[in-house]
Structures are given as structure tokens and as C-alpha cells.
Amino acid sequence: MSSILLVDDDVEFCQLLKEFFELEDMEVQFAHDGASGIDAILAGGSDVVVLDIMMPPPNGIEVLKAVRETSTIPIIMLTARGEDVDRIIGLELGADDYLPKPCNPRELLARIRALLRRTQSQSASGGAVLSVDNITLNAANRTINVNGTLIELTSTQFDVLKELMKNAGSVISKEQLTETVLGRKLEPFDRSLDMHVSNIRKVLFRVTGKQYIKTVRNVGYQFIVGVA
Amino acid sequence: MLRMISFNKLFWKIFFAFWITLILIVVLTAFITDHIVRLGPDSPIASFVLGDAAHKRWRDRRRPPPPKEMRMPMPEDSAERPFRPFKGVRPFFKKPHHRGPPPGLKWLSVIVSLVVTGLMSYFLSAYLVRPIQRVRAATNKLSSGDLSVRVAPTAGERKDELGGLSKDFDKMAARIETMVSSQKRMLRDVSHELRTPLARLQVALELARAKSQNAAKEEFDRIEYESQCLNHLIGQILELVRLEQREWVLTKTSVNIRELIEHIVEDADFEASKQGKKVVLASAIDCTVDINEELIGSSIENIVRNAVTYTAEDTTVEVTLEKISDDGDKIKISVLDHGVGVPNEALPHLFEPFFKVRSKQAKGQTSYGIGLAIAERAVRLHNGDVIAKNNKPNGLVVTIVIPLG
């Protein structure tokens, strides 16, 4: 049974969601403010976190920042519709996905399942080790080794990189990447994928000083083999 | 001082009124004085004007008359007299020779009095007109939507009525600003607050579906649809409030506008096909523009969606993209529908939120909702323009013009 941690200050909303998720055979825990949210996330025990951005301080963004320093737990954030800034900052800070609130709970469930499927199935399937140049990606324990240094990526970033490395040398369209990694159709003005790729680039650049992922304008992304 | 005022009508009115008055005062005083002096102390006017005591002093001070032979010959005959346009009136400054100053000095005094009165009039009118101009400029700014405008910082400390006017204006502007911003804040807060119960409602609905094994599917679907409409509407209100914030900073990227429109047309065509309508990109050029993709994208989407709603069944909404160059290069996006159009008198109001059109052809009221208002605000943020016109023989054409830079 999967365990969901809900970080949202609306107690009644949490209770209703708990009931809904329990019907779907999921375990739900709450945290109703940012501070206890951070504690609950770092305490571990949850498979996925649903984090509301709009909370009294520390708000969701601050929680995300604090948590991402040490944890790569899958996080879906709930943003206010129209508040693009929250969404962009959230994705930049390493949230795995976002959903505007109020959202359809079925949609939220689908996103959670997609995220869980990715993280759990891959760790179960094991074995798959991808190696391009001096980057080694181990799907079994979800680790990435660059020149002997272990680097940390969130699960979505990991999956994006894995997909790119699988197809190293060729261009993958944004549509395809969004569908295989995020488990949904690419929508107009959807910048989620770009944010994830930009985060991966930053991490790889910090360790290697090289740009491995190339943007192919109006098409998609390409993992370059043999970067100078 | 010169560059601080513009010489408008009021300035010249005050300037000339004051100047001419001063000149008249000087001239008339000179004329009357001259006339009285010429008539001499024996005339009845002298005693009337000067009063008894002064009149007496003047008579006593009078020098004894000079000997007869030294006097100027006074011509008795009217034919020998110099020309006088008015009987009994001498030219203004032509005092009797034995008393007046040298002739050159008279012209000097004319020039000096003209210059002095002119300068005084200039400063007086500037002094009066400048604060009025400041208030006027501020009123213009206020009416164009800049509620933060104040007069006091440029007006200095004036204690008179004009200073009071500036202060009253500032008070009024501050009050309007507070009122409008508090109203906007309320609209925003209310919209935000409405989302909390709406979020709960959506979860409760799903619970109801699950627990009743979706027994009343049709009704549940309807509730879901209506709550989505509510959510959409709240989102649009918040978007509009956000776009109307003055301190908006646009993040622009270089966007291939043709591709953006192609995507929108594709999506809209898919949705329109359910109603037996079509959307096509009739003609387009290849072009990149520096814009906020999301804002302009949703503007075009709103306008296209609006056209799809109002175009008649079995008709096609046509979208065109072209480049125009009147004072600078611009792109022009037109969206043409084949509906009944909008009454001409209603066209200017089409971009007001929730504007309703009453038209005979559409039978009843049509609400244009808030989508067009959002589109207009977003395009304005890009220094662009949105224009709606009726198309012949039928339909409405909405045009977006955005500068390329």
C-alpha cells in the first residue's frame, strides 16, 4: 500500500482527500502547516508528497526548498491557477509535478500513480545500468555516478535523464518525453519539462563543467555523446 | 520658468487682460492728469478732482504770470490752431512745452511702462497658470488609469487657493486609489476564498461517485461540469485582476508566432469540430516576436475561442497572421468569424469584462464574458492594440497588433 503525505492547511480538504484516497487503497498522512510538513517529509515513511504552495509561512515553496536540500522524495505541488511564478519556482526547486488547485481528485490520483509507478517499478525491475561517456545511471538504486562522484536528482529529473541517455545521440521530442516521463500529454505553455531539463543541466554542469543536453529548437532535447 | 509653463490659452488670456489693464491705467492716468494741468487751476474740474485744500495749495503755488510779451502767441483763430482730433483734447503726452520733459524721455517712459507692465503680467499669469497646468496634467494621468499620480511633489508649498486645489486633488487621488485598490483586493481575495470550498466540493463529488457506484452519473457529471465552469471563471477573474496590476513585469522570450498560432488553431479546430465548425489558419508569415508567450498565447486563444462560440454552424473561423509596417514593424493577427456580428454601438465596449450585447439576430442577450477583456489587457501590456470590427457581409473580425521589438 502506498503512503501519501498531504501538506495542506485546509483541514477539511485533507480529510475529504484522505477518504477519497483510502477508497483507492492508499494510506494518507497529514501535516497542516509548513513547519510540521518539513518534519513529516524528512521523517520518511511516505512514498509521495502532495504539497500545497499556498500556506501561511513557511509556505509550500519554502518547504520545498528546505526539503530538497536532503531529500529526493517525489513531490507534487498544488499551485493556485494563474500563479505562474509559484509553478516555475516550484519546478525550479525540484518539484516533480504540479497541479492547479482546485483540481479534480481523479487527476491528482492519476499523477500520483504515474509518479509512484515510475519510482517503484524501476527500483523493482532493477539491473538496468546505462552508461554514456563518464556518466553512469543505475536504475536499480536510482543513483547517478559522474566521474566517480554520486549526484542527486529528484525522481522526475532522474527519469528525464534516463530517457535522454537511453536515446543518447538522437533527438527526443518534448511531446514524447512528457508522455513517457510525466505520464501526460504536453499542453500548450507547459514548461514543466523545460524546467526539469534545465535543473539536470545545472547539476551536470556543476560536476563536469560540460553541457550534455542540447535543446533542438521547436523539436526537443538531445543527449550528446562525446561532449568536448 | 519659461520651460515650466506652456503658453496655452489661459496663460495668454490672463497675460493680456492684466497687461492691457495696466497699460490703460497708465495711459488714462497720464491723459487725465495732463488734461487737468492744461485746463489750469481755475477750471471747476480742478477743484472737483483735487478737493478744496489741495486745489487751494495749487493756486497759491502758481507762479505769477510771465510778462505779456514773453507769452506764447495763442492763436485766436481756429484755422491757425494745430490739428486736434477731439475738440478740447490735446494729444496724451503732449504737455505744454514749458512744463513737460524733453520729448525723447516721453518715449522712454512709454517703453519702460510697457516692459514693466509686460513683465508683471507675465509673472502673474505664470504664477496663476502653472499650478492649474500641473493639476490638469495630473488629472489626465489619473483618468488614463495612473492612480498613483500626485501634484504636491512638483507644486511646492503654496498656501493660497491654488495650493489648496493641489492638496485637494492629491487627497482625492489618494482616496480613489485606496478605494479602487481595496475593491480589487476584495475581488481577488473573494475569488481566492471561493476556491477553498470549490476544492472541497470536487473531492466530495468524487467521494459521492465512488460511494454510490456512480448511481446518478448524469447529475454527477453535471455538477462536475458546473464546478469546472465556476473554477474557470474564478481563474479568469484572478487573471484579469493580475493583469491590471500596474507593477507588472513582463518576461519576454523570442517566440515563433506562427508556430504558436498553429498550435492554437489546431486545438481550437479539434474542439470546434464537435459543434460542426472549423478553425483554419488562412495565411501566415514566418516571424519571431519578443513576447510573453503564455500571455499572448492565451489572448489569441481567448479570441479564437470566442469566435468559435459565435460563428454560425457549418462555418469556418479564419485566422491570419501578417506583418505590417506603420511607424515601426508590427505583426497583425486577425480572427474572423461568420456569426451575426456585434451592433456597431456596442463595439467599443466589447473588451469590458462581462459585457452583454442585446441583438435582434442573436435573439436575446449574449455575454462576452471575461476572455476578451483579459486578451485586451495582455496585448496592451505588450504596447499592442486589439480592435473589433464588423465584417461585411457578416461576422466579427478581431485584430491584434503587436510591435515586433
DSSP for A182-211, written as a single string: ISSPPPTT--HHHHHHHHHHHHHHHHHSS-
Cα–Cα distance, B58 to A186 (Å, whole number): 108
DSSP for A81-146, written as a single string: TT-HHHHHHHHHTT-SEEEEES--HHHHHHHHHHHHHHHHHHHHH---EEEETTEEEETTTTEEEE
Residue B8 β-bridge partners: none
Q: Which of residues 273-332 of B touch A (CB under 8 A)?
A: 293-294, 297-298, 301
Residue A49 β-bridge partners: A5, A75
Residue B6 has φ and ψ, to the nearest 5°, of -105, 140
Among chain A residues, the shortest Cα distance to B209 is held by: A20
- Chain B residues within 8 A of A16 when measuring between CB atoms: 200, 203-204, 207
**pLDDT value, residue B175:** 93
pLDDT class of B54 with cuts at 50, 70, 90: confident
* Chain A CB within 8 Å of residue B195 CB: yes
Residue A66, all three cell numbers: 528546505
Per residue in B305-363, pLDDT (tens digit) is: 888 888 888 889 999 998 888 777 888 999 998 888 888 888 888 888 888 776 555 55
Cα–Cα distance, B198 to B230 (Å, whole number): 8
In this structure, what DSSP letter does residue B2 have?
G
E strand or H helix at A161: helix A155-166
| Chain A interface mutation, best of B191, B192, B200, B203, highest count of A Cβ atoms under 10 Å | B203
* Chain B CB within 8 Å of residue A110 CB: no
**pLDDT value, residue B333:** 92
- Chain B residues within 8 A of A20 when measuring between CB atoms: 203, 206-207, 210
- pLDDT surpassing 60 at residue A123: no
Alpha helices in B318-402 (DSSP H): 371-381
Q: Which residue has the higher pLDDT, B5 or B12?
A: B12
Are B227 and B201 in contact by the 8 Å Cβ rule? The answer is: yes
- Chain A residues within 8 A of B269 when measuring between CB atoms: none
Q: What angle do CA B181, B186, B191 make, to 5 degrees?
A: 130
- Chain B residues within 8 A of A186 when measuring between CB atoms: none
**pLDDT value, residue A121:** 64
Lowest pLDDT segment from A117-126, B146-155, B191-200, B226-235: A117-126
Name residues whose C-beta falls within 8 Å of residue B34's C-beta, 6 or more positions apart in sequence: B90, B92, B93, B94, B95
* Among B179, B77, B167, CA closest to B131: B167
**pLDDT value, residue A51:** 92
* Among A206, A190, A201, CA closest to A88: A190
For residue B232, give the amino acid letter: H
**pLDDT value, residue A12:** 92
Cα separations in angstroms, B273 against B259, B265, B277, B311:
21, 12, 5, 12
- Chain B residues within 8 A of A12 when measuring between CB atoms: 200
* Chain B CB within 8 Å of residue A169 CB: no
**pLDDT value, residue B267:** 84
Nearest CB partner across the interface for A105, out of B203, B231, B234: B203
* Chain B CB within 8 Å of residue A56 CB: no
Q: pTM for the full model?
A: 0.66
Min CA distance, A153 vs chain B (Å)? 28
- Chain A residues within 8 A of B370 when measuring between CB atoms: none
Cα–Cα distance, B251 to B294 (Å, whole number): 10
As a whole number, the mean pLDDT across chain B is: 81
Three-state DSSP at A76 gives strand
Lowest pLDDT segment from A218-227, B55-64, B93-102: B93-102
